[in-house]
Structure 1
Amino acid sequence: RVRREEVVVEDEKRDDFRFDLAATGQFYAGEGATRGGVSARPPLPWLQQVPRAFRDPIPLRANAFSEPPGEVHPLTAPDYARLADWLSAEPAVRRNFPRRFAPLARNPDFRRAVQARMAAHPEWDPVLNPPPAMPK
């Protein structure tokens, strides 16, 4: 949860040293025992000492998170139709897919779809048609 709050700069040892930075973009500067002050922008000599990467303005993002997030809906399990382009990719890309998508082989619809196109998916043969277990 993001909240906007004011920033208070104070020195516990001095009663006259307290500044409320309520407005966005305000700048406080003080040195040593001097009181310092608040300004709308940093003074130019100070700004020139800051590395360039730190001078870029950072966009305010609090408003982007002011609304609660929407409802989360679980994704449906992938099926052959959604994976067909990947499963038909060149062999170097699809080489590890049988291991990665092996749990899908338990789904009868997915299994039938791959078996119907075995000529295009030879790497799936050991997953769909494993060799018989050796007797002990």
Structure 2
Amino acid sequence: MNARTPLHTLRIVFALACLCTLHGAQAGQAMLLPDGAVTLIRATTVFIIDAPIALEPGDLLATDARASAQIEDADGTIIALGGDTRIAIDAGPRGDALALLSGWIKIARAHANAVAHLSIDTPTLDLDLRDGAAVLHVSRDTTAFFIETGSVTLALPEHADAHRQLDGEHYGERETGKPLDLRARPAASFIAAMPLPFRDPLVSVATPAKTKPAALTQGRPATYADLAGWLAAPLPIRRTFVARFRPLAQGEPFRSQVRQNLRELPEWRRVLCPPPAMPRRRALSPVQPQSTEVES
């Protein structure tokens, strides 16, 4: 028997395992299925998306007034985005996470497939959805939600350790600095403003033809106008932005625009005005012992 055969076989097995792992990682990625043009900010680059793409943690998405989109994951989670919606794909400690800056989303999760939690951060309220369906709306200073089915855990950002469990149909809203207001039925204004497709159960729109990921076309560098709302957002994901967007602050006009808004962006002060470097301490020469010998 050739002595190289076992080693050759091992290499083939290892290569196949790597391919399977890569395929599994791709299959588990969330897919964005746009209906109209969607703006994507990935790293520090802006892309206009009009075809399915695989999403990555840190992606910032924005729909315009006449666009919508659906995000679908391998575990059966469906997230519908209404018009004028800004949302970030994040990673939470117990599973996937979203940060909803503004606009409308509807989420549906099947109980049998909901292995991990899905957390949704908003400026005034944090939600943790294990299974079921829920609709959320975030405006400038208010978060409103309606739980259609399933179980949701609520927490206030300033009291993250105080949780409240809600099951079944519940409606709630909270303005900045005010207590959480819970009711049995949605407010009339909430129903009137909700996107019409959100009144029906969400269904998957993914098909082999639609879900083949498209390659990102050439984008452009993000500007301060693209990021202003996110940079000042009272959301946990904001803590990642200084490191992520620091390269943009090396040039103009981004640097000047950040400087003009330092009151709202105090964490950027060390980027624009770094503390002076500490002077190097001079090495001290060793002290020579004094001679005690008396000259004769």
TM-score interval for Structure 1 and Structure 2 normalised by the shorter chain: 0.3 to 0.5
Larger Rg: 1
* Bigger fraction of residues in helix: 1
TM-score, with normalisation over the residues of structure 1?
Answer: 0.46
- Higher strand residue share: 2
